[in-house]
Amino acid sequence: MKTIGLIGGMSWQSSKFYYEYLNRLVAEQLGGSHSAKILMSSVDFSGIEKLSFEDNWEAIGEQMAVEAKKLQNAGADIVVLGTNTIHLVAPYIEKAITVPFLHIARATGNAIAAKGVKRVGLLGTRFTMEKDFYTGILQDEFDLEVVVPNATERDYLQELIYNELVKGEFSTAAREQCVRIIQKLQEQGIEGVILGCTELPILIPDSAVTLPTFDTTMIHSKAAVDFALN
């Protein structure tokens, strides 16, 4: 079994699910008392959040490169970044290490393609929905049509994620509003929806919507375990 290196803390609300999923998936495949071999470097999200609001992605990229190197030097065979948004600085990580880096958008694209979905909605931070580091991979590599909410709804999701979800606040009112946003996208013809912030699957269970949902935390974890066991 290979060792998975996980950069966590962005936010820790979802990082704990990465740890759970990685171990559970290994146990399901190998049985007995097996668990995943994981190295984790968990960062303080507050400073990264501030830099993202300042649009200082270079500083974030340099920090992520340092964390990835730590994991490689400690023996990680692959590096996983436990967040969607911060994949904006994936090139910094890829340049800093020689072991594989598992991009969350690529793992998600593979999962969507396996379902035969072609027109997909995307919920996440404003950075994830509006910049092309994420949608570009889905469009260019998987030929997907990606539909995002309108500007007002994108503003709502941005505020929800940073002011509530990363702080562990998951309210019924927020869930209902997100479901309404998804329903509006469904009226535009989407065939599935990407929960493109690793906290969103905590808020929105599969049972809350009628469309297929793509839980990026679980998808990313499955791809990491597939690598570790093969």
Q: Is 178 a catalytic residue?
A: no
Q: What string of DSSP letters covers 6-47?
A: EEE-TTHHHHHHHHHHHHHHHHHHH-TT----EEEEE--HHH
- Residue 189: what residue type? G
Q: Is 83 a catalytic residue?
A: yes
User: Please, are residues 117 and 219 in contact by the beta-carbon 8 Å criterion?
Assistant: no
User: What is the side-by-side strand order in the sheet with 192-195?
Assistant: 145-147, 119-123, 192-195, 213-215
Distance CA 133, CA 45 (A): 21
Contacts of residue 68, defined as CB under 8 A and 6 or more positions apart, other chains included, come to 5, 7, 79, 81, 93, 96, 97, 101
**Inter-axis angle of helices 132-142 and 104-115, to 10 degrees?**
40
Catalytic residue among 125, 128, 135, 197: 197
Catalytic residue among 83, 108, 125, 213: 83
> What residues are labeled active site?
83, 197
